[in-house]
Amino acid sequence: MAEAERRRAFEALLQTHRKIVFKVAAVYARGEEDRRDLAQEILLQVWRSFGGYDAGRPFSTWMYRVALNVGLSHARRRRERSQPLDASLIDTLGGGMPINEPDERLADLARAIESLEPLDRALILLYLDEQPHAEIAAVLGIGESNVGTRLARLKQRLRRVMTGTPPTTGERDGTR
Amino acid sequence: MELDELKAAWQILDHRVSRLEAATPARGVGGVRAELRPLVIGQAIQIVAGLAFAVGAGSFWIDHRDMPNLLVTGLLLHLYAIAMIVAAARSLFLASRVNEAAPVLELQRRVASLRAWRIREGRWFGVVGCFMWVALIVWAFALLGVDIVATRPRFVGFQLATAVVCLGVYVVVSRLARSPEGRAVHRARERLDEIARFEAG
């Protein structure tokens, strides 16, 4: 494929799926500047890896993988396991200018995601994005049958976080 | 807040994100592979240095087969050089398996195994390195035509005693949780635990 053609194909696919970049950045970055840096990092990596993309497979699966892998490594580098989704940044996602008035629901969403470990954040992001179990399994590299089980446990944990119920012994020990 | 409300909040985020303009040109280069680039360069240099070292040490012990002190020294250095090459080659192999388009869990596992290997390798070279410089001194003197083991055995004995002290210090420091190695070990364990916890659901 010629370079110009490749670029056009990339831009067309990116246009359709670019929300993935910003959602992953919102989940794994801290603060406005960090979010922008991460979004750029993801875009750059998506472009760099595009040569290896198999056009016979869904672009969204491939892009989720790249974006989440970059997001996870970014979060690890910054050691931000406890502060991923900053509610204030969500209100300024449009380049430093507020898009909308602050929303309490987004702050709650931030707090809920903040309580999760990086890999669980990937799972909840895919769930909230209403991806089918087969897609979640392909992105994360787990069995399709496991997705439902893990999601059920994760939702249970989130429900407890949101209602302020203390975790079970297993959860505290990290065995569940 | 219930899960349905969480979904509704996510829809708000989705709506806001859809208004975004394309990102400005990248300011930084990131990703796991970019993070690994210094490692890859370092390991390539280690292979070249190891090859040169292996050739030098190999020809040294072949030339001194009739002098047991120097033969053993040369063989030890030769083995060390081969270990340098093998360790760097394994690191490069593990780094080559890191691909951002791989399924998330697979990539995380590969990165974790690369880090765990780097820590094990670092420890091994740390322990052996405490003694290897004694062999290097013997080699350096031999290149000047002096068999230091035969002519100054007490000097060599003192160097070996120093190496034992060095090993003791290395072991103590590496076990301290706040040392760079202690932190690296802790982070690697944390990463593996995190993957295990996720796999356990």
Q: Say what the pTM is.
A: 0.75
Check whether A82 has a pLDDT greater than 70: no
User: Chains A, B: CB contacts under 8 A, how many?
Assistant: 166
- Beta carbons of B4 and A112 less than 8 angstroms apart: no
Instruction: Report whether B80 contacts B132 (CB < 8 A).
Output: yes
What's B102's DSSP letter? Answer: S
Interface check for B23 against chain A (CB to CB < 8 A): the answer is yes
Shortest distance, CA A2 to any CA of chain B (angstroms):
22
Tens-digit pLDDT profile for residues A12-70 = 888 888 889 989 988 888 777 888 888 888 988 898 889 888 888 899 999 999 999 99
B31 contacts A48? CB cut-off 8 A: yes
Nearest Cβ partner for B32 among A40, A69, A94: A69
In a domain, B25, yes or no: no
Q: How far apart are CA B35 and CA B43, in angstroms?
A: 14
Distance CA A90, CA A97 (A): 11
Pairwise CA distance, residues A33 & B133, whole Å: 48
Q: What is the pLDDT of residue B128?
A: 92
d(CA B3, CA B89): 49
Is B125 domain-assigned? Answer: yes
SS (HEC) of A90-106: HCCCECCECCCCCCHHH
Partner-chain contact A37 B27, CB within 8 Å = yes
For an interface test with B, which of A7, A11, A45, A63 has the most B Cβ atoms less than 10 Å from its Cβ? A45
**Residues near B31 by Cβ (< 8 Å), separated by ≥ 6?**
A41, A44, A45, A48, A69, A70, A73, B100
The answer to the question of residue B7 being in a domain is no
Most confident of the following: A78-87, A129-138, B18-27? A129-138
Below-50 pLDDT ranges, chain B: 21-29
Query: Which pLDDT value is given to residue A15?
Result: 84
User: What pLDDT shows up at residue B33?
Assistant: 65
Sign of CA pseudo-dihedral A156, A158, A161, A167:
positive
Q: Which of A138, A120, A121, A98 is nearest to A23 (CA)?
A: A121
pLDDT given at position B196: 79
Domain count for chain B: 1
Q: Does residue B15 lie in a domain region?
A: no
Yes or no: say if A98 and A91 are a contact pair by the CB < 8 Å rule: yes
d(CA B180, CA B177): 8
Residue whose pair of structure tokens reads 């094990």 in the numeric block: B120
Determine, yes or no, domain membership for B189. Answer: yes
Q: Note whether ipTM > 0.85 here.
A: no
Phi, psi at residue B94, to the nearest 5°? -65, -40
Mean pLDDT of chain A: 79
* Probe site for chain B from A32, A69, A78, A88 (most B CB atoms < 10 A): A69
Q: Is residue B131 part of a domain?
A: yes
The B residues from 40 to 79 touching A (CB cutoff 8 Å) are none
- The dihedral over CA atoms of B48, B54, B55, B60, expressed in degrees to the nearest 10, equals 150
Q: Is B19 on the interface with A (CB under 8 A)?
A: yes
Task: Specify the higher pLDDT residue, A94 or B83.
Answer: B83
Instruction: Fill in the DSSP letter of residue B201.
Output: -
Domain that holds residue B130: 34-200
- Judged by CB atoms closer than 8 Å, whether chains meet at B105 and A175 is answered as no
Q: Is residue B9 part of a domain?
A: no
Q: How far is CA A74 from the centre of its chain?
A: 12
Shortest alpha-carbon distance between residue A171 and chain B (Å): 10
What pLDDT, on the 0 to 100 scale, is given for residue B38?
Answer: 84
Examine residue B127 and state whether it is found in any structural domain, yes or no: yes
For position A158, what pLDDT does the model report? 84
> Residue B180's pLDDT is what?
67
**Would you say B39 and B95 are in contact if contact means Cβ atoms under 8 Å apart?**
yes
